[in-house]
């Protein structure tokens, strides 16, 4: 109806791609990604924890707006930011894993796997399977890199683990303090218009200092 705000329908994507701190940073600053949460999935062991995750894998659980970013674009970030060739020995904790949430994601993921495999000319270790259950990781793993910036946490009112896990701003800040973005990308993000001068200068300095350091754990 004209004049009426349309409700945004968000979708969910879940990927295992090595240490989940890194994937959290990468997707956190990706336009169209709304929220991120890290946790354990893909296995059968009940109640996994970091110390005892059993047959689960570290995953990033993403809420995204499909009108801004497609599943294919998320997959391209997935393929370009971790190890999954058969030549690398990877333990289950860091497995390359795509957990699809519906048939559409399944089809897109399988197609992109085949394309990736033929481009690389080698067998991939990546496993594609149906999403079953996600176990959020302990609080200290959520927005891990942001948690050492107490100024940002306080200044943005990110005062509870719940807020750190669910706030779209926390997802962005976590990526920007970690070197996941270039200064150019940062300057193009409309979210910087909502920052006060001090927040802006602080964050910009982080981006400058960390640019090029890559996503590490």
Residues lying near ligand MHO in the complex (CB under 6 A) are found at 19-21, 58, 141, 217
* 19 annotated active-site: yes
C-alpha dihedral sign at 150, 162, 66, 2: negative
Instruction: For ligand MHO, give the closer residue by CB, 21 or 186.
Output: 21
d(CA 144, CA 185): 21
Q: How far is the CB of 217 from ligand MHO (least distance, A)?
A: 4
User: First and final CA of the chain: distance in angstroms?
Assistant: 48
Burial of residue 128, with CB atoms counted within 10 A of its CB: 0-12 exposed, 13-18 middle, 19 or more buried: middle
Q: How far is the CB of 58 from ligand MHO (least distance, A)?
A: 6
d(CA 196, CA 155): 10
201 touches 151 (CB < 8 A): no
Instruction: For ligand MHO, give the closer residue by CB, 20 or 202.
Output: 20
Instruction: For ligand MHO, give the closer residue by CB, 61 or 116.
Output: 61
Q: How far is the CB of 116 from ligand MHO (least distance, A)?
A: 24
Q: How far is the CB of 42 from ligand MHO (least distance, A)?
A: 15
Instruction: For ligand MHO, give the closer residue by CB, 70 or 92.
Output: 92
- The position carrying tokens 């976590």 is 174
Q: Please identify every residue annotated as catalytic.
A: 19
């Amino acid at each position: 109806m004209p004049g009426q705000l349309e409700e945004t329908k968000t979708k969910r994507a879940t990927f295992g791609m090595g240490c989940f701190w890194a994937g959290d940073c990468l997707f956190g600053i990706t336009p169209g990604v709304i929220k991120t949460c890290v946790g354990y999935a893909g296995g059968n062991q009940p109640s996994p924890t970091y110390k005892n995750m059993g047959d689960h894998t570290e995953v990033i659980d993403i809420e995204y707006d499909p009108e801004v970013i497609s599943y294919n674009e998320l997959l391209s970030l997935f393929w370009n930011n971790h190890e999954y060739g058969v030549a690398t020995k990877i333990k289950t904790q860091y497995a390359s894993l795509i957990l699809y949430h519906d048939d559409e994601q399944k089809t897109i993921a399988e197609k992109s796997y085949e394309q990736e495999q033929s481009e690389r000319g080698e067998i991939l270790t990546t496993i594609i399977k149906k999403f079953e259950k996600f176990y959020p990781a302990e609080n200290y793993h959520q927005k891990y890199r942001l948690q050492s910036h107490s100024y940002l946490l306080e200044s943005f009112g990110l005062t509870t683990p719940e807020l750190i896990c669910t706030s779209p701003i926390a997802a962005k800040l976590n990526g920007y303090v970690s070197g996941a973005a270039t200064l150019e990308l940062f300057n193009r993000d409309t979210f910087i218009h909502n920052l006060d001068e001090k927040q802006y200068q602080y964050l910009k300095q982080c981006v400058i200092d960390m640019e090029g350091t890559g996503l590490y754990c």
